[in-house]
Structure 1
Amino acid sequence: MSTGKWTDYINPAVQNMPPSGIRRFFDLAAEMEGVISLGVGEPDFATPWHIRESCIYSLHRGRTSYTSNQGLPELREEIARYLAGQGAVYDPRRELLVTVGVSEALDLALRTVIQPGDEVIIPTPCYVSYIPCTTLAGGVPVTVATRLEDNFRLTADRLEAAITPRTKALLLCYPNNPTGAVMDRQSLLAIAEVVAKHDLLVISDEIYDRLTYTGRHTCFAALPGMRDRTILLNGFSKAYAMTGWRLGYAAAHPDFIAAMTKIHQYTMLCAPITAQVAALEALRHGQSAMEQMVAQYNRRRRLVLQGFKEIGLPCFEPGGAFYAFPYIGHTGLSAAEFAENLLREEKVAVIPGDVFGPGGEQCIRCSYASSVDDLTEAVKRMGRFIKNRTAGRARVVYL
């Protein structure tokens, strides 16, 4: 079997998988001094103190054991209460599963419902793990590029055009990473009609549901007829600044949750109890701190949009999450060239839009989960970079 190369033993699906484009730029930035990073999608706030304190107290009390595979019963009850407020009612005993981050919930959902050759429609630009995780589950990712003229929303006609007899599921993420796009209720109802017509499942990643600025978030599972054909994913990383706690959850029909729990109990067993205690405190008493953080993100969103306008960087208005997705095609550079040159010349780290799939080739992702001072300086440096590029192109044309 072996030809002398250890790679012969590695699954070809893993060998052919590209490394994360986000991490590549993060690693480049880490090697340089004075870099302002707008790259990694992580809150710059620490987890609120009362959440951390609840965990310290739980450790003093010796709460260091396993929990139920599905998670602490009291946490599932609080999650169910929160989702009911969004219009999606779930039984905390049979229809909720606490996971190690939303990333595990996504992996479980895909491995539970996808059989080899099943197609999964993924609107792009999308979070970088969606396509590889679909492939690892044995599925076939079918990308549907959303368009700037549609404010990066998936439209019902573009969804229907991508459906084939092998289509099994639709993977949604709104508010969206990387674009910041949101879907209003009417747009989602049109998507739901297509989903029902073709008897599809929906995996709806709603990790940014509380980070909306232009209207109320619509939970996909709360739409008429969508609850039982939707696997709803959510978590605590973004709204409560709890990325390192690694805690998420899935809500779905009991048949899906039972199947997902089988995989979960053999691979993870349960999410860490201390992180579950933190999530419980966040749901019970974290509303005020969360709202303050969201208000700060909104302030930064407006600052970045105004700054981009002043330096001549076109950008549609993101309605959620904490990302801006400006257009850089007019600079004459590809997204990768723009990001690499900006990092080396002005020490600002952004992510090229093409790492998020079709539709992002002439854009860059900028996270505004940074301080106002850093954002102000970053926009200033980007303006200087664009001005120098434009001036250079003008001189070349003149000569």
Structure 2
Amino acid sequence: MLRRDFTDEQAMFRDAYRKFLHQEIVPQMEAWRELGIVDRSAFRKAGEQGFLMVWPGVQYGGMGDDDFRFEQIIIEENQYALTADWNCTLHSRLVGPYLQRFGSEEQKQRFLPGCVSGETILAVAMTEPDAGSDLAGMRATAIDQGDYFLLNGTKTYISNGVNADLVIVAAKTDPVNNPRQVGLFLVERGAEGFERGAPLKKMGMKGQDTAELFFQNVIVPKENVLGDPAKGFHYLMEGLAEERLIAAVECLAAAQKAFDITLEFTRERKLFKQRLADFQNTQFKLADLRAELDMQQVYVDQCVRALNLDALTAVDAAKAKLVTSELLCRVVDEGVQLHGGAGYMDEYPISRMYTDARVTRIYAGSSEVMRLIVGRSLYQDEPTPFIDRCTPWD
């Protein structure tokens, strides 16, 4: 099999980031899981070493390299180091690009340097108690008052919700006449009327702070409106393909890690005076998973290439997110089974990976929504037969 496509610079970046994780993040992760929140110092230390946000231009403190493979490396190394509770990619590549794509130059100069350094932590607030994957069902409103917008509403399940210094909030701007008209608003820490709940207790990802956010008559000045206040829904849709690719990279990297630790366990575990690895059942189970992992890795890497070429479609990203999240849940389930009783104990990584994995079939669009997206695409236009999408070999 050919090696995966990373540059020499990216290989050195991977080595440096791996060392950073094991020096600065891994030793603290257990304590952060107990607290239910990652300390803000993690963001500052990553920012100091150039690992937090790679893509912003040098005028904002970044490297100015938008190649998604840098973030792919960060995601993969976090999964392998079991530090995914520190969701730095949410800050760096999921929320940050909204400022780049839709922000004014004044907003970029005001916010991006702090985001790159780790002094300003980002979050995005879309989900509401009655509006998850269905963004059109949101109830939060931001009404134009002339010099400012008046923001009211509640958001829930917001990652980085406690740590965030700057939250991009989605809210309806004309709920009476055009209920699908949404704007995006930059709400800063300390804004009057902006409150947040304590970290929510979750099944998994316990170190990732997730909170409810409350907005009661929050005054959002016009200079904190992101782009056109009538085009927020379009802005959100534009970022969803990359968000789902991020989720796919996370899922597949976690699945690769779960497979590796399960394989190692079966080599050491003895049963009926044999290694667990010597049983045909074990070999067949792992062979099936190994084949699926390798096939999906090729597809995800191709999606990364497509994103870098600005050619990743929403449908292709939905396919990636669907199959990788479903595969991850099968891998961790099989991993627990092959670990036996040990797999139910938190001292074994597979136990935590099992509970952490379950949410991946929900966030960034549930598996059911991904199937709807892919299924509807089959009937919208005359489909191109697979064989006609293939180009001749050189």
**TM-score, normalized by length of structure 1?**
0.26
Q: 1 or 2, which has the higher helix percentage?
A: 2
TM-score normalized by structure 2?
A: 0.26
